């Protein structure tokens, strides 16, 4: 399933959206629509054509718009060399003003998540939610370690700090051991002297 989703995502990342906007004279508008409707079926039958839609604008310009989506640049170029596109060029010639021709390369696709993220700054994506849960879990583990008197910095990101802390703790233990050593030696010496005094008596 994951492999299929990766393939779909890769296809989306390479898709190209073609937009053709023709401004025909009112007397030639029907002719333009007839040509585009005639090529719509053959275009959809071409391998790599994901969509082909015709729109009629109701504004002052009364433009006719053809929007087609292609899975890759290779299939688009094959379409541009086809007989169907030769007919489209004929419809372009009927435009009373300079037509708008545009090919947009899709670099990213987002859905409802973009709307939620924009309208609600506190909204978390599933991946971000998992990261937040993992961070909370690590914080709880560190708190438990602290309560047990264990170092709390031993995480992958703080390895150096952890090593420094362990080294400092070792130095403190060594210093404490050296400080206690003279006291023990003094007690032993007194016992030896006492023992000698008893033997002399």
Q: What is the percentage of the chain residues whose pLDDT exceeds 70?
A: 54
Q: How confident is the model at residue 138 (pLDDT cuts 50, 70, 90)?
A: low
DSSP-based three-state secondary structure for 62: coil
Those residues with Cβ within 8 angstroms of residue 183's Cβ, 6 or more apart along the chain or in another chain: none
Judged on CB neighbours under 10 Å (0-12, 13-18, 19+), 63 is buried
Positive or negative torsion for Cα 151, 152, 158, 161: negative
- Segment 116-142 mean pLDDT: 65
Most confidently modeled range among 13-22, 86-95, 138-147: 86-95
The per-residue pLDDT of the chain, averaged, comes to: 75
Span 66-81, pLDDT tens digits: 999 999 999 999 999 9
Question: Do 72 and 48 form a contact (C-beta atoms < 8 A)?
Answer: yes
Query: Measuring CA to CA, which residue among 81, 125, 110 is closest to residue 12?
Result: 110
Question: Do 162 and 154 form a contact (C-beta atoms < 8 A)?
Answer: yes
Q: Which CATH class for the 2-105 domain?
A: alpha beta
Phi, psi of 170 (to 5 degrees): -65, -40
pTM: 0.54
Phi, psi of 192 (to 5 degrees): -65, -45
The residues spanned by each domain of the chain are 2-105, 112-147, 151-178
């Amino acid at each position: 399933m994951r492999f299929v989703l990766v393939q779909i995502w890769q296809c989306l990342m390479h898709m190209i959206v073609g937009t053709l906007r023709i401004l025909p004279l009112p007397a030639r508008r029907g002719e333009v629509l007839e040509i585009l409707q005639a090529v719509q079926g053959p275009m959809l039958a071409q391998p790599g054509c994901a969509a082909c839609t015709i729109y009629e604008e109701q504004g002052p310009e009364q433009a006719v718009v053809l929007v087609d989506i292609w899975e890759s640049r290779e299939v688009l170029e094959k379409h541009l060399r086809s007989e169907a596109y030769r007919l489209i060029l004929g419809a372009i010639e009927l435009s009373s003003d300079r037509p708008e021709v545009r090919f947009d390369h899709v670099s990213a696709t987002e859905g409802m998540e973009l709307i939620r993220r924009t309208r609600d700054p506190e909204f978390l994506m599933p991946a971000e939610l998992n990261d937040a849960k993992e961070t909370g879990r690590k914080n709880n583990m560190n708190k438990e370690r602290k309560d047990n008197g264990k170092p709390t910095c031993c995480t992958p990101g703080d390895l150096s700090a952890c090593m420094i802390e362990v080294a400092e703790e070792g130095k403190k233990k060594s210093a404490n051991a050296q400080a206690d050593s003279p006291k023990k030696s003094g007690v032993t010496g007194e016992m030896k002297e006492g023992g000698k005094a008893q033997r002399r008596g």
